[in-house]
Amino acid sequence: METFVAIFSQLGVDSSLQYQFVILVVVFIAAHFLFLGKLQGVLEVREEKTIKLENSADDVLEKATSMQAEYKSKIDEASREALKNSTEKKQKITQKFTEQYKQTEKEMNSKVDQSRNEFGKEIAANKNNYLAESEKLSQSLVQKILQ
């Protein structure tokens, strides 16, 4: 203890140290109630809100990820459905026009066959007329040669 007293006396500490210590304790207690307590409360609230916001951000991120996956699956499903619908419509239209084409082709073939038959009949009828006329012409030629 004498060592402490010797050190304190060399530092110039006197009996006012006790008063200074009491003042320091009173100022610390006053500062604690006036400033440090409120500062500690602010720090705790800030930390709590930061942690809540971090947890909230994680929840929002998970929700956004799930919404993104759901959106992508719905887009893919809609794309497949649209492709299916367009393919079905294309097939229906192709089938409709194919049937119309075949029907028109049959009609045209029947008209061509009918025209061919009529033309053949006309040729056969004219053939007899031409042969008869050629017979007359050959007779008249023979008569003219003989005369």
DSSP 33-83: IIIIHHHHHHHHHHHHHHHHHHHHHHHHHHHHHHHHHHHHHHHHHHHHHHH
The pLDDT assigned to 81 comes to: 95
Domain limits at 101?
Answer: 2-146
**pLDDT tens profile 31-45:** 888 888 888 888 888
Point out the residues of the chain with pLDDT beneath 70. Answer: none
The pLDDT value given to residue 121: 87
- Domains held by the chain: number: 1
> Does the predicted model carry a pTM greater than 0.75?
no
